[in-house]
Chains A and B, each alone.
Chain A
């Protein structure tokens, strides 16, 4: 502790000295002084609406494609995953009970927030992938558009996936899609932002709460995306983001009885994915295998289950129901 605080004190003293010197002209300041010390961001987890460090106290160095260190990210442990599932379970009921309209508004708000910070995400993606900024700007814009797309779906998918069923009898028969509950998502490894949004948005649009493990080697854009969600009126716990090693966390999420669905999209090791699928079967989870592509309606359909209600037609008329 004291070892860490010493250089900080040194720095602030130096800073105070500089401020004294800065009484002179601006040009003088630019030429005579060193550049301001860059304030580095601590990339933390996003659990239950808060930004905690890993309970294990561990972190790992995240590097760019050229091997240069970009930042340290928290290395989540199985207990962080457990805490995230607890937070997601707690948030899920209220989130699912919200009106579809409000869920759409919040997703749209997330798109607005991301739009406002497009520059930052462009930089982070370029640093992580080595691509040119004009390319990564396109990716960020695609992610924004994807959020808007799913924002539009929130109050429509129920009509498309469910509906009134014709039955031979004096009944009204309705089918309604309902969220599974808590979905664990392994975000794609090589598509750190767009892939993440593509995995999260349909799950939360349908009323699920998610625990997302970001790309292991490129987690920074995902962790910054948590800040976008945190400022979008998304209730804490609906999306929980972890950074860490897939092989370490995945078995615990796959075996967790309180997780209802698991998206293995970001599990690149085929043997591990098969093992996780077997573990998930032990607790009756909906599994998305890696490499499964489909339309956005497929993505929405993946994390819902169907409730069908038989309602006596006579009774409905008798109580003056508006049928």
Chain B
């Protein structure tokens, strides 16, 4: 739907977006963050959050062995806990991950396009994407060209996202806005709409590689953008906050936001994801607290 627009049309739509009421946005996020979720609701929220995780390892030191053990954990985090949504790895590890999760519902997400900076020529970024898809990635996490975006060249950003989308083929495309580098809420709103017009299946907050990662207000803003986009075009787009979400408490705040802003339509792993690694351990510890009645400790979960 969005891809029917030309770059110029999309950019003029994006430039016409109203500014963001920063104070109101932060107050709304803070308000939603105070909801108390207890007992059975908490147990449900924890299992839902586990099922929404893109279990991530994006280190220079990643080895096939480490990726395989991450996949084993993704398939069966613990006892009767549900499997996570996907494992998220570098393109070089996508084949290893695809082999390890083959036959399950767990997807392989691969970052691509010169992650995390994206400061490489477009043809290299496209080749990166194609290689990841060939290696077996079901989902591609691309980074937008922040250099072009901040320089005001929105059309170029739009065309690049479109090109990557075409290179993805069947794979779902998550577009990382890297909100920590976009400098303002207005820019986050513009980048969200631009990415959706260009054909993003998901918009994602961050790479996890810069100082400021996912925050509740920014994610709330992106949820509003996704909601407005569906109202305007009829196309549903997913949201993925990533980086800095480490505790069950944080995860539940995000779920409350999804429920309040987007409703049931988005409250599934198909439309909402957490990009995280250490979050899973905290969710498992909290889950065990609910079943056994006593607090668990870091000695009782895997060291990733």
Chain B positions 276-304 with a Cβ under 8 Å from a chain A Cβ: 293-300
CB of A283 within 8 Å of the partner chain: yes
Tell me the minimal C-beta distance from B301 to chain A in angstroms.
10
Tell me the minimal C-beta distance from A274 to chain B in angstroms.
17
Inter-chain CA distance A256–B296, complex, in Å, is 6
Assess whether A252 is in contact with B297, with CB atoms less than 8 Å apart: no
- In the bound complex, residues from chain A placing their C-beta under 8 Å from that of B295 are 82, 85, 252, 255-258
**Chain A contact residue count (CB 8 A cutoff):** 12
Inter-chain CA distance A82–B293, complex, in Å, is 13
12 A–B pairs (Cβ distance < 8 Å), ordered by A: A89-B297, A252-B295, A255-B293, A256-B297, A257-B294, A257-B297, A257-B299, A258-B295, A258-B297, A258-B298, A279-B294, A282-B294
- Most A CB contacts (10 A, CB to CB) among B297, B298, B299 go to B297
- In the bound complex, residues from chain A placing their C-beta under 8 Å from that of B294 are 252, 255-257, 279, 282-283
Tell me the minimal C-beta distance from A240 to chain B in angstroms.
15
Q: Binding site of A, secondary structure by majority: helix, strand, loop or mixed?
A: helix
Inter-chain CA distance A211–B137, complex, in Å, is 47
Q: Which residue of A lies closest to B294 (CB)?
A: A255
- In the bound complex, residues from chain A placing their C-beta under 8 Å from that of B300 are 257
Inter-chain CA distance A257–B298, complex, in Å, is 9
Ranked nearest first, the 10 interchain pairs of A and B with the lowest CB-CB distance are A258-B297, A255-B294, A257-B297, A256-B295, A257-B296, A257-B300, A82-B295, A256-B294, A257-B295, A258-B298
Q: Which residue of A lies closest to B295 (CB)?
A: A256
Tell me the minimal C-beta distance from A184 to chain B in angstroms.
12
Q: Binding site of B, secondary structure by majority: helix, strand, loop or mixed?
A: loop
Inter-chain CA distance A283–B296, complex, in Å, is 10
Inter-chain CA distance A279–B298, complex, in Å, is 19
Chain B positions 21-44 with a Cβ under 8 Å from a chain A Cβ: none
Tell me the minimal C-beta distance from A113 to chain B in angstroms.
32
Chain A positions 49-101 with a Cβ under 8 Å from a chain B Cβ: 82, 85, 89
- Most A CB contacts (10 A, CB to CB) among B293, B295, B298, B300 go to B295
Chain A positions 253-287 with a Cβ under 8 Å from a chain B Cβ: 255-259, 279, 282-283
- Assuming A257-B295, A258-B296, A279-B294, what are 11 further A-B pairs, CB within 8 angstroms? A82-B295, A85-B295, A89-B297, A89-B298, A255-B294, A256-B295, A257-B297, A258-B295, A258-B297, A282-B294, A283-B294
Q: Which residue of A lies closest to B300 (CB)?
A: A257
Question: 1/0 per position for B246-279, CB-CB distance to A under 8 A?
Answer: 0000000000000000000000000000000000
Tell me the minimal C-beta distance from B248 to chain A in angstroms.
12
- Most A CB contacts (10 A, CB to CB) among B294, B298, B300 go to B294
- In the bound complex, residues from chain B placing their C-beta under 8 Å from that of A283 are 294
Question: 1/0 per position for B53-64, CB-CB distance to A under 8 A?
Answer: 000000000000
Inter-chain CA distance A279–B294, complex, in Å, is 10
- In the bound complex, residues from chain A placing their C-beta under 8 Å from that of B297 are 85, 89, 256-259
Q: Which residue of B lies closest to A259 (CB)?
A: B297
- Most B CB contacts (10 A, CB to CB) among A255, A257, A259, A279 go to A257
Tell me the minimal C-beta distance from B285 to chain A in angstroms.
9
Tell me the minimal C-beta distance from A162 to chain B in angstroms.
23
Chain A positions 235-259 with a Cβ under 8 Å from a chain B Cβ: 252, 255-259
Inter-chain CA distance A259–B294, complex, in Å, is 11
Inter-chain CA distance A137–B236, complex, in Å, is 73
Tell me the minimal C-beta distance from A81 to chain B in angstroms.
9
- In the bound complex, residues from chain B placing their C-beta under 8 Å from that of A255 are 293-295
- In the bound complex, residues from chain A placing their C-beta under 8 Å from that of B299 are 257-258
Tell me the minimal C-beta distance from B290 to chain A in angstroms.
13
- In the bound complex, residues from chain B placing their C-beta under 8 Å from that of A258 are 295-299
- In the bound complex, residues from chain B placing their C-beta under 8 Å from that of A252 are 294-295
Tell me the minimal C-beta distance from A247 to chain B in angstroms.
16
Chain B positions 46-89 with a Cβ under 8 Å from a chain A Cβ: none
Chain A positions 208-229 with a Cβ under 8 Å from a chain B Cβ: none
- In the bound complex, residues from chain B placing their C-beta under 8 Å from that of A259 are 297
Inter-chain CA distance A257–B296, complex, in Å, is 5
Inter-chain CA distance A283–B300, complex, in Å, is 11
Inter-chain CA distance A258–B299, complex, in Å, is 7
Inter-chain CA distance A252–B296, complex, in Å, is 11
Tell me the minimal C-beta distance from B79 to chain A in angstroms.
15
- In the bound complex, residues from chain B placing their C-beta under 8 Å from that of A256 are 294-295, 297
Q: Which residue of B lies closest to A282 (CB)?
A: B294
- In the bound complex, residues from chain A placing their C-beta under 8 Å from that of B293 are 255
Inter-chain CA distance A257–B299, complex, in Å, is 8
Chain A positions 138-159 with a Cβ under 8 Å from a chain B Cβ: none
